[in-house]
């Protein structure tokens, strides 16, 4: 009875192991394929993302290079503009002196001389009118051919407005102009001060832009290093992906062959368990005894072989062994 229970246990255990090994051989391959596919897709997505980052960094590097060049131009332009404005300030000071000081005084001097000029202009105007009216006409009575004499100075002076009145009108039109020009002095001074401040601010802005440009220029080689590093990482991931795929293929082959090999090793326990359960196997035990030849005996040594048959019936087992006999 014990042998049958033991055989049943062996059969059940062996069957479970066989089912597990067969299931492993059947399902492990697709599972490893799915793992390889998923891992490959993940690595591919990672490589695509890194390539996108690398392209973005390359574009950023190109943009920073362009910005660096533009900022260099801005620094030069700012410096030139600052110098131009700074050089304009002395010119504006001179214009302020001319407009607010010298020109009003000259205009006032002209205004002061207008009455005298108008008086002279009146005399000249009268003289020109008189000279324009000067004419000599006379006829010499000569028989058959009288002679007419007509003489003038060739001056035709008939102005619409007398010259003296024109000069007085000119003097009148200059009234208030000196004061207006003098009032521009403060505004011109403020403009000159503002230009000086603007020139100084442009110098400061140019320095700040130059400092920012220097910092931007430092990032350009760093971005080159980052792009090169990302390319190395991408190459390493692609190489690792290929290596992992090859290793998973080897693992898949081993996961298919090894369970089959282990399943074959379970055939012997399966047969043993079946025999123990059914009790249908007869065992014949052969005992071989070697009898060593003694000194003084004949050349032919004897080997005695005794066979003992063991019959198993039901749950009783009878074993019989022959007694060993040794010749002295």
Q: Tens of pLDDT along 237-292? A: 888 888 888 888 888 888 778 877 777 777 777 777 777 777 755 443 333 333 33
Q: Is residue 262 part of a domain?
A: no
What's the pLDDT score for residue 135? 66
What's the pLDDT score for residue 321? 34
Q: 300 lies in which domain range?
A: 283-328
Q: Is residue 322 part of a domain?
A: yes
Q: Are residues 305 and 240 in the same domain?
A: no
Q: Are residues 200 and 294 in the same domain?
A: no
Q: Which ranges of the chain have pLDDT less than 70?
A: 1, 134-140, 142-157, 280-328
HEC profile of 86-149: HHHHHHHHHHHHHHHHHHHHHHHHHHHHHHHHHHHHHHHHHHHHHHHHCEEEEEECCCCCCEEE
Q: Are 86 and 196 in contact (CB under 8 A)?
A: yes
Q: Is residue 273 part of a domain?
A: no
Q: Is residue 271 part of a domain?
A: no
Q: Are residues 186 and 319 in the same domain?
A: no
CATH code, domain with 112: 1.10.287
What's the pLDDT score for residue 15? 81
Q: Is residue 244 part of a domain?
A: yes
Q: Are 84 and 260 in contact (CB under 8 A)?
A: no
What's the pLDDT score for residue 213? 85
Q: Is residue 245 part of a domain?
A: yes
Q: Is residue 276 part of a domain?
A: no
Say what the pTM is: 0.47
Q: What's the number of domains the chain is made of?
A: 2
CA 183 to CA 298: how far, in whole Å? 161
Q: Are residues 228 and 110 in the same domain?
A: yes
Q: Which residue has the tokens 């009268």?
A: 126
What's the pLDDT score for residue 322? 37
CA 319 to CA 18: how far, in whole Å? 35
Q: Are residues 37 and 127 in the same domain?
A: yes
Q: Is residue 270 part of a domain?
A: no
What's the pLDDT score for residue 154? 67
Last residue of a domain, one of 221, 256, 291: 256
What's the pLDDT score for residue 150? 66
């Amino acid at each position: 009875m014990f042998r049958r229970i033991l055989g049943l246990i062996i059969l059940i255990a062996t069957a479970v192991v066989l089912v597990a090994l067969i299931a492993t051989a059947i399902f492990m391959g697709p599972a490893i394929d799915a793992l390889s596919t998923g891992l490959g897709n993940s690595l591919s997505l990672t490589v695509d993302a890194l390539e996108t980052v690398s392209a973005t960094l390359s574009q950023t590097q190109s943009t920073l290079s362009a910005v660096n060049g533009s900022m260099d131009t801005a620094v030069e332009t700012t410096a030139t503009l600052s110098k131009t404005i700074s050089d304009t300030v002395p010119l504006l000071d001179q214009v302020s002196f001319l407009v607010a000081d010298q020109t009003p005084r000259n205009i006032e001097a002209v205004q002061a001389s207008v009455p005298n000029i108008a008086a002279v202009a009146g005399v000249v105007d009268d003289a020109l009118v008189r000279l324009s009216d000067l004419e000599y006409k006379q006829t010499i009575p000569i028989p058959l051919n009288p002679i007419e004499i007509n003489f003038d100075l060739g001056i035709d002076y008939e102005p619409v407005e007398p010259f003296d009145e024109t000069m007085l009108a000119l003097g009148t039109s200059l009234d208030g102009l000196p004061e207006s020009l003098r009032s521009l002095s403060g505004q011109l001074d403020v403009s000159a001060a503002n230009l000086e401040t603007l020139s100084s601010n442009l110098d400061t802005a140019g320095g700040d832009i130059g400092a920012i440009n220097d910092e931007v220029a430092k990032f350009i080689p760093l971005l080159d290093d980052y792009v090169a590093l990302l390319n190395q990482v991408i190459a390493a991931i692609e190489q690792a992906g290929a290596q992992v795929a090859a290793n998973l293929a080897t693992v898949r082959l081993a996961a298919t062959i090894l369970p089959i090999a282990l399943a074959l090793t379970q055939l012997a326990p399966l047969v043993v368990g079946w025999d123990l359960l059914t009790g249908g196997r007869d065992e014949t035990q052969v005992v071989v005894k070697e009898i060593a030849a003694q000194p003084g005996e004949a050349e032919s040594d004897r080997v005695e072989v005794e066979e003992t048959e063991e019959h198993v019936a039901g749950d009783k087992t009878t074993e019989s062994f022959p007694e060993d006999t040794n010749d002295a």
